[in-house]
Amino acid sequence: MHRVLIADSLAPAGVDVLRQSADVDELRDADRPRLAELIADYDAVIVRSGTQITREVLEGGDRLKVVGRAGVGVDNIDIAAATQRGVLVINAPTANSLSATEHTFALLLALARRIPSADASLKAERWERKSHVGSELHGKTLGIIGFGQIGQRVARRARAFEMEVLAYDPYLQAEVAKRLDVEPMSLDGVLAGSDFITFHTPLTDQTRNMLNRRSIASMKDGAAVINVGRGGVVDAEALLEALDSGKLAGAGLDVFPEEPPTDYRLAAHPRVVATPHIGAQTSEAQERIATETARMVLAALGGSLAVSAVNLPFRSSGSRGEPFLRLGEQLGRLAAVALGGSLRRVQVDLWGIDQELRKSVAVAALKGALVPSCGEGVNYVNAERTAADRRVELVQATHSDQAAYAHLVRVRAVGAEPPAGAWTADGVAEVAGTTYRHGETHGDLRVVSFGGFRMEFKPQGLLLVVRNLDVPGFVGRLGTLLGNGGINIADIHLAREPGGHALAVLRLDQPPDDECLAALLALEDSISVDLFDLS
């Protein structure tokens, strides 16, 4: 029988599932400091957010095969170390969707009917009815931004309240919108047409600060916003200003840019109904998370890969395949970010990649290409399904002609619309890379061509990509501007093309602010400036 260690408290229903087919122990608090030693006796460990599964703990797990995270975030688990040691990491990303959906309505109704202040005044023994005139949901327009698991459930409930529903999601399919009686729209259309706007996107480079001064300005006067998604989607300062000025009538917030906040101005604002990230805090969600995690851990111990895996471990082939997967993933990510628009196809071309790794490298590229729009919830196991749901096609080809490199992976991200980003030619962003061998092992990743330019740089960290006219002095002016902005350049790579354009890729130690980026673009001879975060 497999032995499973529960390191953080798990809802009893999950413990019961485990006990039916495994030997289960619960870690006592007194034993916690000895986890790296005790783990040697277990095939699987289940954690929530309280236990750190560090490299040291994983190295102690001689027979450890699975780490189950009863929840979503995996910040407390060293995924790279787990992958290297062949340990599968599993999480339960969808078990709390219903609770988060209902919490959205809890905030929506509390805001519309001023429940918190009415309750507070009554508790203070005041009978104040006139100051608590609210508004009905019936007949109002709800704008849903991010139409995935939760956004779609919110839409169904909003229709039951007889609300009009508008939705924006770059991957929204017409038939899903039709089935749910929802009108798909552009982001600006949703912002301008809604009385209430609710955010259900992951936090990505594209969604960070999506609610900002500009987007608030295009909203209806007196509209309200709800955020049960991720705090970083909202620019807190812009929201505070809009609430103070009365441009926005209110906000219902379950999530904050920093949790717990050090700055409580938003939570304390009289026009805000705030809760401390309790969207998933229901007994049903906790039970579902516990039982789903328990079932998946048992299935994985039984050899199934049909689980929500965060990584794809490589013990069987040693760590030989791992650098190629990382390469595929980083190239996919870079190509998708460079595309800058809605993705329709990921084309992966391979030279010199072993037969048994080809599919995995292609899937890794697909995963990397989906992360910028889908967030970290997409993993090696669900990447193909996620792509199919979004009508993104994966095409893989192997080539035997002589390439300049012993191993070469080329990823083309093909968009749905005409080119959006500066790196796209005919709606295609192309990037190729290799991995260099040091001694016996590969692992030194390099991009070797990007957007038609032949150049070498590491696909990692914060990359500033500047395209300019190939004239003397440009790179000096670029460096001076960054230096004046207090930004350190870690390394710089230059390339030129016959057409008279040049490309500079700079790895930066600090991100430039919007003002600095605008100044870079305003430099004479500058054509485009993009910041890619591949950390």
Give contact residues for ligand NAD (rule: CB under 6 A).
94, 96-97, 100, 145-151, 168-171, 200-202, 204, 206-207, 228-230, 254-255, 277, 279-280, 373-374, 377
Q: Specify the residue, 8 or 169, whose C-beta has the smaller distance to ligand NAD.
A: 169
Shortest gap between Cβ of 232 and ligand NAD (angstroms)?
Answer: 9
CA triplet 338, 341, 347: central angle to 5 degrees?
65
Catalytic residue among 128, 162, 259, 356: 259
Shortest gap between Cβ of 168 and ligand NAD (angstroms)?
Answer: 6
Active site (annotated) includes residue 277: yes
Active site (annotated) includes residue 259: yes
Pairing of strands 526-533, 2-6: unpaired
Query: CA 447, CA 156: separation in Å to the nearest integer?
Result: 45
Alpha carbons within 13 angstroms on the beta-carbon side of residue 74 total: 24
Q: Specify the residue, 54 or 149, whose C-beta has the smaller distance to ligand NAD.
A: 149
Catalytic residue among 277, 446, 496, 501: 277
Shortest gap between Cβ of 492 and ligand NAD (angstroms)?
Answer: 30
Pairing of strands 462-469, 223-227: unpaired
Query: CA 319, CA 435: separation in Å to the nearest integer?
Result: 14
Judge contact between 296 and 381, C-beta under 8 A. no
Helix (H/G/I), strand (E/B), else coil: 131:
helix
As a whole number of angstroms, the longest Cα–Cα distance in the chain is 83
> Nearest Cα to 314, choosing from 5, 81, 534?
81
Residue 47 makes CB contacts below 8 A (sequence gap 6+) with 7, 8, 53, 67, 68, 69, 70, 76, 77
Q: Specify the residue, 209 or 396, whose C-beta has the smaller distance to ligand NAD.
A: 209
Q: Specify the residue, 113 or 277, whose C-beta has the smaller distance to ligand NAD.
A: 277
Active site (annotated) includes residue 288: no
Query: CA 413, CA 200: separation in Å to the nearest integer?
Result: 25
Q: Specify the residue, 204 or 434, whose C-beta has the smaller distance to ligand NAD.
A: 204
Shortest gap between Cβ of 337 and ligand NAD (angstroms)?
Answer: 12
Shortest gap between Cβ of 366 and ligand NAD (angstroms)?
Answer: 15
> Which residues, listed in sequence order, are joined to residue 253 by a DSSP beta bridge?
227, 274
Tell me which residues are annotated as active site: 230, 259, 277
